[in-house]
């Protein structure tokens, strides 16, 4: 037996561990560094290039345009962090909207209508979560099936008609206050509060650590004693509740529940998550990135319109951004793995 102290792969000669490191290093390493730079750059270019972009009213508009897809993207982030994906989130929210609106239009109490909408969204997402966690089926296929089935069921349930709700609790989130001359609907505050809450849970609680661990290495999470199935199911049900909030926000924005609406919201939410730097392979990322990702999409659309450029270019730009974001993610993963 040797007398020397085995220091496993010691990085430096001093045995002392450094618990902290410079803040700028942490920032640079932070996965939101890239998306945040892109957002600020886009804002700078549009502010200099157009006279109308950098106005409180326009900034408020960008947030208003972001809020529904941004809320769906928040739920999407939680699921993608577990190495899943939810193609059905838009259709779940639309079903929630139709259930809320139909019940209210037919004379029901708006509070009951709202609760029914929440219940339906949570149950639908819970069905996806149950199938994914109990039967170990790939989330892509499960939620693709759910998307098709829910979208069709919504049309059957509504007889393919839209429901227009009169001002009530259901449209309450559309009410606004004046902030510096701009109208800011309540839904924006709800959206931002949701992000803060989700960020707290993900980074400061054990439940959050478990979500990352399940997405990162599900077998390690299981062996560490984490109830993997319960964690997965809880994430899907929580996402369902967030989709219901998205449905509520959507009724506040436009008080019409259209069974054919928000048809591409699922893909838009995935776009926002990916541009925000959350890995499609699970286990890395966060909701702050998704907030930035959502805003990047909205800023590009808004800015290009202000500059008088065909909005189709926005979609070209978004498409390129998605590919760049995934490429960066792959690069980071590969470099760290080696």
Partner 1 sequence: MSSEKTLAGAAESGKLPAPILEARGLVKHYGHITALDGTDFDLRAGEVLGLVGDNGAGKSTLIKALSGAIIPDAGEILLDGQKVSFQSPHDARVAGIETVYQDLAVAPALDIASNMYLGREVRRKDLLGVLFRKLDYGYMRETATRHLMELGIGLKSVRQTMETLSGGQRQAVAVARAAAWGRRIIIMDEPTAALGVRQSGQVLELVQRIRARGLAVVLISHNMPQVFEVADRIYILRLGRRAAVLRPQDTTMADVVSIMVGAIEGDVSGRGPGAGATPTAAPSGYSLTSLDPHRS
Name the residues that contact partner 1, by CB under 8 A.
1-2, 5-12, 15, 17-21, 200, 204-207, 209-210, 212-213, 216-217, 219-221, 223-226, 283-284, 336-337
Distance CA 218, CA 269 (A): 24
Shortest reach from residue 338's CB to partner 1, in Å: 10
Pairing state between β 256-257 and 163-164: antiparallel
Cα 73 to chain center, whole Å? 2
In 44-153, where do the E strands start and end? none
**Residue nearer to partner 1 on the CB measure, 8 or 312:** 8
**Residue nearer to partner 1 on the CB measure, 156 or 206:** 206
**Residue nearer to partner 1 on the CB measure, 298 or 325:** 325
- Cβ–Cβ < 8 Å for 293, 208: no
Shortest reach from residue 233's CB to partner 1, in Å: 17
In 138-273, where do the E strands start and end? 163-164, 176-179, 182-185, 256-257
**Residue nearer to partner 1 on the CB measure, 286 or 303:** 286
**Residue nearer to partner 1 on the CB measure, 1 or 312:** 1
Shortest reach from residue 71's CB to partner 1, in Å: 22
Q: What angle do CA 234, 237, 238 make, to 5 degrees?
A: 80
**Residue nearer to partner 1 on the CB measure, 15 or 180:** 15
- Cβ–Cβ < 8 Å for 239, 89: yes
- Cβ–Cβ < 8 Å for 69, 269: yes
Shortest reach from residue 316's CB to partner 1, in Å: 32
**Residue nearer to partner 1 on the CB measure, 18 or 136:** 18
Shortest reach from residue 202's CB to partner 1, in Å: 11
Shortest reach from residue 121's CB to partner 1, in Å: 25
Distance CA 274, CA 268 (A): 10
For residue 196, the cross-strand partners are none
Shortest reach from residue 330's CB to partner 1, in Å: 14
Cα 199 to chain center, whole Å? 11
Pairing state between β 163-164 and 176-179: unpaired
């Amino acid at each position: 037996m040797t007398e020397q102290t085995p220091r496993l792969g010691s990085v430096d000669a001093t045995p002392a561990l450094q618990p902290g490191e410079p803040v700028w290093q942490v920032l640079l390493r932070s996965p939101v560094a890239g998306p945040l730079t892109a957002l600020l750059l886009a804002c700078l270019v549009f502010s200099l290039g157009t006279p109308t972009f950098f106005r409180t009213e326009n900034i408020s508009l960008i947030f208003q345009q972001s809020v529904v897809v941004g809320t769906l993207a928040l739920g999407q982030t939680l699921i993608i962090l577990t190495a899943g994906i939810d193609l059905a989130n838009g259709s779940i929210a639309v079903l929630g909207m139709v259930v809320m609106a139909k019940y209210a239009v037919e004379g029901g109490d708006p509070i009951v209508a709202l609760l029914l909408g929440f219940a339906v969204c949570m149950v639908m997402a819970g069905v996806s979560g149950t199938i994914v966690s109990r039967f170990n089926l790939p989330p892509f296929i499960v939620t693709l099936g759910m998307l098709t089935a829910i979208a069709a069921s919504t049309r059957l349930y509504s007889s393919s008609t839209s429901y227009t709700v009169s001002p009530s609790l259901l449209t309450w989130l559309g009410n606004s206050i004046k902030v510096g001359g701009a109208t800011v609907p309540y839904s924006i505050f709800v959206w931002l509060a949701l992000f803060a809450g989700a960020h707290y849970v993900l980074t400061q609680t054990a439940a959050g650590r478990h979500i990352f661990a399940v997405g990162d290495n599900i077998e390690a999470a299981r062996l560490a004693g984490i109830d993997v199935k319960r964690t997965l199911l809880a994430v899907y049900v929580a996402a369902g509740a967030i989709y219901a909030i998205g449905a509520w926000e959507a009724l506040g924005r436009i008080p019409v529940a259209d069974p054919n609406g928000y048809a591409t919201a699922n893909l838009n939410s995935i776009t926002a998550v990916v541009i925000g730097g959350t890995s499609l392979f699970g286990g890395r990322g966060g909701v702050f990135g998704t907030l930035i990702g959502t805003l990047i999409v909205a800023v590009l659309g808004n800015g290009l319109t202000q500059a008088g450029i065909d909005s189709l270019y926005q979609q070209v730009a978004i498409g390129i951004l998605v590919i760049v974001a995934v490429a960066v993610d792959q690069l980071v993963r590969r470099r760290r793995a080696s």
